[in-house]
Structure 1
Amino acid sequence: MNKILLFNPRSANNKYRIPNSILNIAASVDGKYDWVIVDGNCEHDPMVKIDSYLSTGEFKYFGFTVMPGPQLRQAIIASKTIKQKYPDTKMIWGGYFPSNQPNAVLYSGYVDFIINGPGDHAFPALIDALEKNEPYEFIRNLIYKATDGKIIKTAKEDLLDQDNLPPLPYDKLNTFYPITKFLGKTYLGEKTMAYHSSIGCPFTCSFCAVVPIYEARWKAKSAQNVYNDVKYIKDKWGADAIEFHDNNFFVSEKRAVEFARLIKPENMTWWGMARIDTMSKFKDSSLAAIRESGCKIIFFGAESGNNAILEQMDKGGTQTGDQIIEFAERLKKFDIIPEYSFVLGTPAPTQEQVQSQIDFEIDFIKKVKAVNPKTEIVIYTYSPVPTEGSELFKQVIKSGFRFPETLEDWISPTWESFDLRKNPLTPWLTPDMIDKIRNFETVLNGVYPTVTDIRLNMLKRMAIKLVATMRYKASMYQYPYEIKLLQKVWRYRQPEIQGF
């Protein structure tokens, strides 16, 4: 009666990746409590599999990992259905969404607890307390609703030494779903594995959902232990490429270079995320070693070429617009593709200023492309994140913006688009501004189709580029229907939504 069911809601159609976050929770209770995993990405109807477990009467605890966006819909529907049918089941959510929106989650009536950040200690401690009918208010990293209806947040736990955590139970996961199913064909390789080598980030960007959870903290596994895990999956299941899903893989130059040295003989290709102002300080020899080890592309949060906007976003560090362009040019000699994300549409006192900022970023992106045409550009529209105390969030609240108060509102079509940073629902952005951002993105992707879309052959790339180039050179972005039609017919892949 105390088994644990762990659920990874669907995050994308026809895309399977090792469910690292929920597997981390499985590792925390492995050997102490019986557990199973249901992966919504691998199930046509995960509720059938879930019900087959719960109907045995052996499962008392149900753990979800819930990211904003696509996972949220399946998580809400599943939680509500399960709580109605199995009311004694204890529902525990973890992930960025519940940590950032605890009121909507806990007042829903069908979620009992939230793990606020890493659950390596909090989750097993909570299960122990519930099993023994003991108090849980002193368990760190916990959010719950008290008997008087008040939302209680317990103290944050220091980040744990990642090397001392139990190993992820890949072999047991393989008994539920073949690991080979999670090794997808991508731009990087035929069998691409997903891996987390660190948690958190040492910066406090006020537009980032990680900041309220980790509060400028970062902890990483050693390069040797990362290599050991990757090597195990490569040797046993044939992985030939790696997506590092760390929020910031390249915090430590020494660690990155050491991993590059270890992984080089394995002939694997890989990708990770970084900050421009951090990696711009790396030695040429370090960048060369990273590329020689198989790193083909690195994602950077450029965010804005406007120094005043970078300050408004509390980007921190030393990043500037000039540095963004200089670093894109520098990476050319190492044959590393920089993947730059930009956030357009931050708040300003007047609509004229908002429009001016958008126009500036469009021109700046074109300058980046001019110095290094291989630079991948990912465009987001600014979507508020509840970073309490930040000046940017104060501006957001002052403008009249409000988050939904119920979970049902969060899964309305408009708010689902918000979570994908496509429809911000912010008062300072007009429909014309949003159209301009989206239309520029369409034209840009026509002239420079992403290299990560492996289905787009050379002939298609040439055709769409021919159609889009005239618009791009003339800055004619309105009504790019001919480009949209080709992208729709050829099912153009957008990295900011679908990844590789």
Structure 2
Amino acid sequence: MKILLVNPPSPGIYNLIGLKLPPLGLAYLAAVCREKGHQVEIVDLQVEPRSKLHQAFSRCDLVGITSETNKVHQALKVAKEAKERFGLPVLMGGYHATFLDEEVLRSGWVDWVIRGEGEIPMSQFLEVLDKKSDLTTVPGLSFLHQGKLVRTPQTTPPEDLDALPLPARELLPLSKYWMTQVEGEPAVNVLTSRGCPFSCSFCASSQFSGRKWRSRSPENIFQEIEKIYFDLGYRGIAFVDDNFTLSPERVERLCSKIEQNRLKLKWWCFSRADTIVQNESLVRKMARAGLRMVYLGVESVEKSILDEYKKKLSAEVARKAINILRKYNVKSWASFILGSIRDTRETILRTVEFAKNLAPDLVQFSVLTPFPGTEIYEKFLKEGRIVKLNWKLFDGAHPVLKGDFLDTEEVKKLLWKAYFEFYREWRYLPQAFSMLKKIMVTSIPPLAKMKETHYWKERLQRVYSSFHAPKMENPPMGTS
């Protein structure tokens, strides 16, 4: 079977400034499909023209589309075009389709929805489709039958992540993602674990992938890093796990492998602040292995709001974590969520002042958004607090909730004020100018083309050198 996997374009500021990462979920699905003997093509509309999509429609048998809430309207546009113009069957997955499968199916442009992690259901679905057998035997599948919604029992996510094939990055237009960098090095994303044992009220991760944390072994992760380093020529990596440092021992073993094999990497990861505070020796080892930045969810300075978010962290722990990172020359990227239903103008301004005193290297202010699948989505929907049920606005930048003390317009003004207050400090001017430069380069095609050529010329030279380098006394694993 010829399968086309599509990543719809993303709206929002991060897309505008070029912070785009390859759709890793589709690359995993592609690898699984190819193991089963299918031909697979990926089109990423974040970075590729729609004309390529039209060409791909003409040579496939099945279209699979991923859907996040703020771009589900784009996902449905792709589905409509595939079905109406080309008569193709359409399968959809991802967070939004998982939690609002009926809404997606009743659009009339989607035939099936795979809920949750897709590798196991996708493999079985293709087998059933090929044999024209009973769809109800496929776990985690939703579809309409005679106008009624059918949901098959949810499958258990894959336990042994080492058994999954490595993502098929060779199917992705890797040269198009050069804007995402770690200290000047173009970066590729890597996922080393799934599932989340925490229950933050604003996050759907534990509902999508389960509460059980499942991890890949350091040996399996290093195998992927070697491929990225030697075959693709990357020196930058973004570890995109929700809980990369949840097992300090696992990360220490991985760092030892990176050091022992003399890989010159620059990388960043997500972590909880309490893990940093409780494991200073881990930070020291990660820094030696190339760690350059850690993303921390601080969220608020107000204890009552942190309790409402079920964050189970304090602002003081975040301060200690950033001080430890600074001690080892690791930059911090602190995230704050404004617009809790309990927030007032005063609590938000206190959080902004706390962010300024905390002095992370980068800060991200978002507004509380009740994404489908989160605890607060069902709660606030019932309470009538969601005043703008427009999925295009569910991006963390547009307020959609009516709080006890602030309406959406007041929260929007405070969001802009938060960014202005933080980045007007003289020490943050370089970051502000860098962001403006990225917007300009991304928006002006000739500049983007020049920059892309420059980076990829360097990368190709680097890859060539890695295969023709003189032998070392202790060569990296996998080389001679």
Q: TM-score, normalised by structure 2?
A: 0.82
**Alignment pair present for 1:103 and 2:102:** yes
**Paired letter, 1:213:** F
Q: Measure, in 2, the Cα distance between the counterparts of 1:222 and 1:361.
A: 41
**Alignment pair present for 1:85 and 2:85:** yes
Q: Measure, in 2, the Cα distance between the counterparts of 1:118 and 1:398.
A: 30
Matches within 5 A, 1:96-495: 96-152=95-151, 154-171=153-170, 173=171, 177=173, 179-184=174-179, 186-264=181-259, 265-282=262-279, 284-315=280-311, 318-348=312-342, 354-355=343-344, 358-370=345-357, 372-387=358-373, 390=375, 393-395=378-380, 397-401=382-386, 404=389, 410=390, 415-416=391-392, 418-428=393-403, 429-430=406-407, 431-447=409-425, 449=428, 455=434
- Structure 1 residues 141 and 453, CA, compared in 2 at 3 Å: closer, same or farther? farther
Instruction: Report the 3-state secondary structure (helix = DSSP H, G, I; strand = E; otherwise coil) of the residue aligned with 2:237.
Output: strand
**Paired letter, 1:157:** T
- Structure 1 residues 381 and 54, CA, compared in 2 at 3 Å: closer, same or farther? closer
CA deviation profile, 1:80-136 (whole Å, cap 9, x unmatched):
11111123x221111112113223211101011122111111012111112212112
Name which of 19, 23, 29 aligns with 1:25: 29
**Contact kept in structure 2, 1:159 and 1:218, CA below 8 Å:** no
- Structure 1 residues 375 and 362, CA, compared in 2 at 3 Å: closer, same or farther? farther
CA deviation profile, 1:400-429 (whole Å, cap 9, x unmatched):
42674xxxxx4xxxx42x222111221224
- Structure 1 residues 445 and 60, CA, compared in 2 at 3 Å: closer, same or farther? same
Q: Point out the more displaced range, 255-264 or 180-189.
A: 180-189
Instruction: Considering Cα pairs closer than 8 Å and 6+ residues apart, tell me whether 1 or 2 has the greater RCO.
Output: 2
Q: Measure, in 2, the Cα distance between the counterparts of 1:199 and 1:162.
A: 9
Q: Measure, in 1, the Cα distance between the counterparts of 2:58 and 2:235.
A: 40
Q: Following TM superposition, by how much is the alpha carbon of 1:241 offset from its aligned partner in structure 2, in angstroms?
A: 0.6
**Paired letter, 2:65:** F
User: How many corresponding residue pairs?
Assistant: 431
Q: Following TM superposition, by how much is the alpha carbon of 1:306 offset from its aligned partner in structure 2, in angstroms?
A: 2.0
**Contact kept in structure 1, 2:91 and 2:114, CA below 8 Å:** yes
- Structure 1 residues 403 and 138, CA, compared in 2 at 3 Å: closer, same or farther? farther
Q: Measure, in 2, the Cα distance between the counterparts of 1:77 and 1:250.
A: 38
**Alignment pair present for 1:61 and 2:39:** no
Q: Measure, in 2, the Cα distance between the counterparts of 1:159 and 1:378.
A: 33
Instruction: Report the 3-state secondary structure (helix = DSSP H, G, I; strand = E; otherwise coil) of the residue aligned with 2:116.
Output: coil
Unaligned regions of 5+ residues in structure 1, if any? 349-353, 405-409, 461-486, 493-500
Q: Following TM superposition, by how much is the alpha carbon of 1:147 offset from its aligned partner in structure 2, in angstroms?
A: 2.3
Q: Following TM superposition, by how much is the alpha carbon of 1:379 offset from its aligned partner in structure 2, in angstroms?
A: 0.7
Q: Point out the more displaced range, 231-240 or 211-220.
A: 211-220
- Structure 1 residues 382 and 255, CA, compared in 2 at 3 Å: closer, same or farther? same
Percent identical residues: 22
Write out the 4+ residue segments of structure 1 that deviate beyond 6 Å after TM superposition. 487-492
**Contact kept in structure 2, 1:188 and 1:269, CA below 8 Å:** yes
**Contact kept in structure 2, 1:249 and 1:273, CA below 8 Å:** yes
**Contact kept in structure 1, 2:141 and 2:152, CA below 8 Å:** yes
Partner of 2:465: none
**Contact kept in structure 2, 1:6 and 1:36, CA below 8 Å:** yes
**Contact kept in structure 2, 1:100 and 1:209, CA below 8 Å:** no
**Paired letter, 1:43:** E
Instruction: Report the 3-state secondary structure (helix = DSSP H, G, I; strand = E; otherwise coil) of the residue aligned with 1:266.
Output: coil
**Contact kept in structure 2, 1:385 and 1:393, CA below 8 Å:** no
- Structure 1 residues 422 and 36, CA, compared in 2 at 3 Å: closer, same or farther? same
- Structure 1 residues 452 and 92, CA, compared in 2 at 3 Å: closer, same or farther? farther
Partner of 2:475: none
**Paired letter, 1:363:** R
Partner of 1:469: none
Q: Measure, in 2, the Cα distance between the counterparts of 1:489 and 1:123.
A: 40
CA deviation profile, 1:175-230 (whole Å, cap 9, x unmatched):
xx4x4444546243333112222222221111013232123222121122212211
**Contact kept in structure 2, 1:116 and 1:141, CA below 8 Å:** yes
Q: Measure, in 2, the Cα distance between the counterparts of 1:210 and 1:245.
A: 13
Unaligned regions of 5+ residues in structure 2, if any? 444-480
Q: TM-score, normalised by structure 1?
A: 0.79
